């Protein structure tokens, strides 16, 4: 941790996670406790990450936060809940006799700056990465070493899953106070090295119904959602854990698609109904099923969160052919060289048989771009002082 004059400052990065068994619906809005457990895959930070700098100083007169360069209201309830929780843990650590080596007071105000290297609120799980990163950075600057699930969860439920790399489950827990509603790693990022992830970015606009409002309406009106949570998810959690541990892609892919479809069915069962998928999303679903039918096995799988973007899971030996199939069905508009971001993918020709199997009329420009990535680690501390987003005065550095 760098100390610049009277400033304690720390910078961290945190990953995006994509649920393969979906979280939708809270049993406690205040504590953010879910009606069912969920399981996710942590994506690599080389492609998608949030970077957050937290600084505390006796000179700061108030808490302040900047997101992607713009100052935001620090009084928003979820942000306040995170700050309260981390300060409570820091006080608890002090009273437990772990005297902090740093001469800093818990009364110091904090300045936070955070940037995403991907579009915010476009269905790319930016809130999960953001709050996990916030929790991690605050914990470092305040000297908190306990489990951060609760801190991150109070910001955004799925954020607790971004505290770990690899494959992560968020156990719904049973206690009313939420102390057992925590994230834990099912398998590390090194466990399934062949697994690849493609994000098909359909739309970078903000989604019509935010997740928070959407899931609240679903809990209030969808009998299907309740049935899913109580009767189906527990067995699906066990089965998905087995698929991951055994690296059984066929079963993993099928269950991932079924669970995504069921989540979106509960959105349609909500009253009034919520639709996060658009025509392009549905065409991608069709493309995946055609591709798998042609190969007579599940070689690719889709999942959609509360947005139109598709997240595709596949193995490294299938990436190039599937990207070619996507290019064929959704010819890029002009930005051919910018169409594929992230991990490099060698272009390959499509066989005439596969072209015939895909059969649909192409939809030019339906997919804006593809991000190719893989499973990655949990939050990281950046030791390079040059990485800090806040300068020695505790204000955002001027953009270079």
| DSSP character string of 178-238 | -TT--EEEEE-TTS-TTEEEEEEE---SPPSS-HHHHHHHHHHH-HHHHHIIIIIHHHHHH
Same fold, 7-189+378-387 and 195-374: no
Q: What was the pLDDT predicted at 253? A: 99
- Domain boundaries 7-189+378-387, corresponding CATH code: 3.30.230.10
Which of 79, 149, 78, 150 lies closest to 111, judged by CA? 79
Per-residue pLDDT 10s for the chain (400 aa) are 554 458 999 999 999 999 999 999 999 999 999 999 999 999 999 999 999 999 999 999 999 999 999 999 999 999 999 999 999 999 888 787 766 555 467 889 999 999 998 766 555 768 899 999 999 999 999 999 999 999 999 999 999 999 999 999 999 999 999 999 999 999 999 999 999 999 999 966 666 778 889 999 999 999 999 999 999 999 999 999 999 999 999 999 999 999 999 999 999 999 999 999 999 999 999 999 999 999 999 999 999 999 999 999 999 999 999 999 999 999 998 666 789 999 999 999 999 999 999 987 899 999 999 999 999 999 999 999 999 999 999 999 986 4
Of 319, 315, 373, 371, give the one whose Cα is nearest residue 348. Answer: 319
Decide the pairing of beta strands 70-72 and 300-303. Answer: unpaired
Phi-psi category of residue 297: left, alpha or beta, with phi > 0 → left and psi -120 to 50 → alpha: beta
Q: Which is nearest to 14 in space by CA: 118, 169, 88, 146?
A: 118
- The C-alpha atoms of residue 166 and residue 42 are separated, in whole angstroms, by 5
Residues found in the chain: 400
Per CATH, which fold does 195-374 belong to?
Answer: Alpha-Beta Plaits (3.30.70)
Domain ranges of the chain: 7-189+378-387, 195-374
Find the helix or strand (DSSP H, E) in which 15 lies.
strand 7-15
Query: pTM of the entire structure?
Result: 0.94
**How far is the C-alpha of 101 from the C-alpha of 6, rounded, in Å?**
15
Structure tokens at 356: 């015939």
């Amino acid at each position: 941790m760098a100390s610049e004059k009277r400033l304690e400052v720390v910078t961290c990065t945190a990953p995006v996670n994509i649920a393969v068994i979906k979280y939708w619906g809270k049993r406690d809005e205040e504590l953010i406790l879910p009606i069912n457990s969920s399981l996710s895959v942590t994506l690599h930070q080389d492609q998608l990450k949030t970077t957050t700098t937290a600084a505390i100083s006796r000179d700061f007169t108030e808490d302040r936060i900047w997101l992607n360069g713009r100052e935001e209201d620090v009084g928003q309830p979820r942000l306040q809940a995170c700050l309260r929780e981390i300060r409570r843990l820091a006080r608890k650590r002090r009273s437990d006799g772990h005297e902090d080596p740093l001469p800093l007071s818990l009364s110091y105000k904090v300045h936070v700056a955070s940037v995403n290297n991907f579009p915010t609120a476009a269905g790319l799980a930016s809130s999960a990465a953001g709050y996990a990163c916030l929790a991690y950075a605050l914990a470092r600057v305040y000297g908190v070493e306990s489990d951060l699930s609760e801190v991150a969860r109070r910001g955004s439920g799925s954020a607790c899953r971004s505290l770990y790399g690899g494959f992560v489950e968020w156990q719904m827990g049973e206690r009313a106070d939420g102390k057992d509603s925590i994230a834990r790693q099912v398998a590390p990022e090194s466990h399934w090295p062949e697994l690849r992830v493609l994000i098909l970015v359909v739309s970078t606009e903000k989604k019509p119904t935010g997740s928070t409002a959407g899931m609240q309406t679903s809990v209030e009106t969808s009998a299907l959602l309740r049935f899913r949570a109580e009767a189906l998810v527990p067995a699906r959690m066990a089965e998905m854990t087995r698929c991951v541990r055994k690296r059984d892609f066929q079963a993993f892919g099928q269950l991932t698609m079924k669970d995504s479809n069921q989540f979106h069915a509960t959105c349609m069962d909500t009253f009034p109904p919520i639709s996060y998928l658009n025509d392009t999303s549905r065409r991608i679903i069709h493309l995946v099923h055609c591709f798998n039918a042609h190969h007579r096995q599940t070689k690719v799988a889709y999942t959609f969160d509360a947005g139109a973007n598709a997240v595709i899971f596949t193995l490294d030996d299938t990436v190039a052919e599937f990207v070619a199939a996507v290019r064929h069905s959704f010819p890029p508009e002009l930005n051919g060289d910018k169409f594929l971001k992230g991990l490099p993918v060698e272009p390959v020709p499509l066989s005439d048989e596969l072209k015939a199997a895909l059969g649909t009329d192409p939809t030019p420009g339906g997919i804006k771009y593809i991000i190719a990535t893989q499973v990655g680690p949990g939050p990281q501390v950046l030791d390079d002082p040059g990485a800090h987003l806040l300068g020695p005065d505790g204000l955002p550095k001027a953009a270079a």
